[in-house]
């Protein structure tokens, strides 16, 4: 199993997604003799998972059933163990587009955190690109290395445990893009500029507070970055339903004779219109307040390294 090389059958050591519903799923590491408890009963890895096709419908011990899905960065974002706050697919998709990532891109990231964005970047830049990710916390860095190896993407990523604001990314004039998700990104702008290739290159900084955005933008201008702009992503989901509203009383119209001559309809139309007016209400489509969604927690600031 690999997050970038998909295959059809489940094998021992794979990380699979147990899908009970859109609001209920979780990852499981497949092992010989292993068992996984669900509300529908037990899943026995040796007989129910190993050798089966991804996407299979598996019957649990109580008679209920679940689907076993191949892991993807999007599914991993929804199910990963949270070591820090993470970025969700809404933000990740915009970051990938605005940084102009593609297969073969070299990317620097700080900090690694729970690896949500890291997995998405690796999938985008594979098979010839590389991710250099820096994590200040030693235990989080070690856990990230372990996960990348389990997910068979370790050859596409280098994890470093250091302070990016003091020590940088460890590369010079090599990266096509830099992403910063740290408390004081303005202190790392100089190191980001050094890591970016000599001509061009894009940088993105994620900050939860507008005061951090302001200081970051000033630092970007001081270091000669151009096209600096900040975006806020808001995910709003409307639930449209039919409601009944009373018809307004607009009073009697003027020029009854002229209206009668120019606006004549069939008796059936006039009858239907009269019935509607007597009823006093009409049906309309309306959107109710959007329900809360997991997603946005801050601002994304993008800039381009000057060519001169």
Instruction: Report the binding-site residues for S-adenosyl-L-methionine.
Output: 114-117, 135, 181
DSSP string, the chain: --SSS--SB--TT-EEEEEEETTEEEEEE--TT-EEEETTEEEEIIIIITTPBTT-EEE-TTS-EEEEE---HHHHHHHS--SS----HHHHHHHHHHTT--TT-EEEEE--TTSHHHHHHHHHHTTT-EEEEE-SSHHHHHHHHHHHHHTT-GGGEEEE-S-HHHH--S-SS-BSEEEE-SS-GGGGHHHHHHHB-SS--EEEEEESSHHHHHHHHHHHHHTTEEEEEEEE----EEEEEEEEEEPP---PPS-HHHHHHH----HHHHHHHHHHHHHTEEEEEEEEEEEP-S---SEEEEEEE---
Instruction: Report the binding-site residues.
Output: 114-117, 135, 181
């Amino acid at each position: 199993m690999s997050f970038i090389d998909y295959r059809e059958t489940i094998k021992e050591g794979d990380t699979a997604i147990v899908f009970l519903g859109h609001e209920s799923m979780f990852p499981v590491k497949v092992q010989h003799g292993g068992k996984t408890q669900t509300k529908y009963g037990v899943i026995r890895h040796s007989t129910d998972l190993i050798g089966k096709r991804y996407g299979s419908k598996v019957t649990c011990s109580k008679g209920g059933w679940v689907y076993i899905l191949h892991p993807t960065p999007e599914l991993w974002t929804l199910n990963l163990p949270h070591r820090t706050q993470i970025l969700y697919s809404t933000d990740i998709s915009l970051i990938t587009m605005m940084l102009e990532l593609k297969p073969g891109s070299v990317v620097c990231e700080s900090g690694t955190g729970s690896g949500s964005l890291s997995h998405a970047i690796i999938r985008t830049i594979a098979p010839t690109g590389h991710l250099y990710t820096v994590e200040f916390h030693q235990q989080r860095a070690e856990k990230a290395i372990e996960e990348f190896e389990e997910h068979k993407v370790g050859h596409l990523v280098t994890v470093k445990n250091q302070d990016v604001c003091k020590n940088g990314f460890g590369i010079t004039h090599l990266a096509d893009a830099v992403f910063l998700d740290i408390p004081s990104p303005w202190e790392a702008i100089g190191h980001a500029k050094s890591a970016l290739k000599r001509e061009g290159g894009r940088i993105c900084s994620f900050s939860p507070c507008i005061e951090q955005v302001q200081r970051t933008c000033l630092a970007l201008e001081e270091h000669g970055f151009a096209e600096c702009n900040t975006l806020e992503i808001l995910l709003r989901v409307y639930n449209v339903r039919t409601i009944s509203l009373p018809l307004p009383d607009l009073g009697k119209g003027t020029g009854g004779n002229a209206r009668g001559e120019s606006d004549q309809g069939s008796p059936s139309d006039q009858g239907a219109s009269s019935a509607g007016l007597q009823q006093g209400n009409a049906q309309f489509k309306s959107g109710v307040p959007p329900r809360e969604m997991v997603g946005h927690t801050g601002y994304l600031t993008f800039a381009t390294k000057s060519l001169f």
